[in-house]
Copies of this chain bind each other. A is one copy, B any other.
């Protein structure tokens, strides 16, 4: 039996069985039934991995799950933190094992291999059953990736007080699968640099909320921290320092670390804009390099964009992108394409000379550039991903397979869908984690953030992935992501600016109801988000406080109209 078939029947039950007893799960499973019987975790609790030839990363994931069970020690978010549960736990049955198994006939592959399959072909669904009588719990899935998702859920079910690890809500029956195949988090490591340990810690946290894509905006105009074997000078001249650089083995390490946690790494080398720093290595390839005033030529300093009309720049860029892309297992690669500034080329002699010589318009040149760079990626088996301007502001011949990220406004999804492209929802008006931090440019004391105000978790949570789309267009939406642009961020504030807010989209794109169903509800969600936030603290992360702890311990008491 394959689980996928099970889901049609279960989908309609969802709205009726929203949890009352269990506030600990994020994202909330597709179908969840709970009881009211206390159940403790036996001191000798163990995982039975009934998977023939279980891959190493599954064994490691089980060991990690066991470690969290032993060390989370999360007190329940009520006054007293569980001290009143002691009585209820007297005489409670103990759970001594969880059996992991694949559905009959399922092919055994590693989590890492499953995690980087094409979108729509990964099997993340699972069934988790925890009886109330202490008999073994079972976790079943079609793939090791599904087992991994189920392990993550299992780890969120347990509270701790006074030496006991327990749930108050057995039996628990969960049948779960994501609503959307793309659930991401995007990080900019160019404006400011993040060491590898920051990335792995972030990947851990992403895995806890079942985010499955790390969109790594690795380079930009300010720095080029990516060491590329074929073009080492780009990082030597473009990284902030030799210490603030990702070596090829660093990238491979991150890709492997991510894949073992169910996460595909979508690398972005933004082109042809956002490339000023390349001019420190290839001055002939970059127009308006560090030109002044920068505001004439770029959205932020320094100015500088690839001279995409020049054949040598087309070839260089295609070669750069493909030489990086071929080292990565993902089927996807982002070529960027946002915020291209035309003033930069109007004033650029080599570009104008080329346009005159060829009779091309700037759009013609960009079209050839994009065909060249995308062609190189497609030749490597990659599907290109671009920012929305590439299809809304320019008239380019892109592959129908191209995926478009909507970022300027959630309103723009409809126009992208109109053109028939698949969509990743990354709208600044809901999902930009950096908004609201004030102006970062110098000499502008009254300036504010361009995308004010701050996007709270709850505002993000109200995002409707299908808004303004026709029913026929719904299938174009692959999912979405929250993003951290790092002009005002670094290792110093990474955890609190990202978490738990980035969990909002993780739940939207895992748990979203089908069209016509009840929308996700911020009031129902907050206690669960508090729960995962406090669990993150127990696991060593530094997620920001959403409210005074007084509120966290008293669900709904701090609601606007409470």
Residues of B with C-beta under 8 A to A193: 549
Complex interface residues of chain A between 435 and 455 (CB less than 8 A to chain B): 436-449, 452-455
Contact mask for chain A residues 522-545; partner B; CB cutoff 8 A; 1 contact, 0 none: 110010000000000100001111
Complex interface residues of chain A between 123 and 143 (CB less than 8 A to chain B): none
Q: Are B456 and A436 in contact (CB under 8 A)?
A: no
How many chain A residues touch B (CB < 8 A): the figure is 75
Q: Are A241 and B81 in contact (CB under 8 A)?
A: yes
Q: A192-B549, A492-B495, A548-B222 are in contact. Are A456 and B439 (CB under 8 A)?
A: yes
Q: Are A492 and B543 in contact (CB under 8 A)?
A: yes
Residues of B with C-beta under 8 A to A489: 544-545
Residues of B with C-beta under 8 A to A513: none
Q: How many copies of this chain does one complex carry?
A: 2
Stretch from A32-40, A395-403, A471-479, A550-558 at the B interface: A550-558
Residues of B with C-beta under 8 A to A459: 438, 445-446
Cβ distance A159 to chain B, nearest Cβ, rounded Å: 15
Q: Are B496 and A550 in contact (CB under 8 A)?
A: no
Contact mask for chain A residues 278-318; partner B; CB cutoff 8 A; 1 contact, 0 none: 00000000000000111100001110000000000000000
Q: Are B456 and A545 in contact (CB under 8 A)?
A: no
Q: Are A492 and B496 in contact (CB under 8 A)?
A: yes
Q: Are B445 and A488 in contact (CB under 8 A)?
A: no
Q: State whether the Cβ of A191 lies closer than 8 Å to any Cβ in chain B.
A: yes
Q: How far is the CA of A241 from the CA of B83 in the complex (A)?
A: 11
Q: State whether the Cβ of A42 lies closer than 8 Å to any Cβ in chain B.
A: no
Q: Which of B240, B453, B461, B562 contacts A449 (CB 8 A)?
A: B453
Complex interface residues of chain A between 456 and 482 (CB less than 8 A to chain B): 456, 458-459, 461-462
Residues of B with C-beta under 8 A to A444: 458, 559-560
Q: How far is the CA of A522 from the CA of B486 in the complex (A)?
A: 22
Complex interface residues of chain A between 159 and 178 (CB less than 8 A to chain B): none
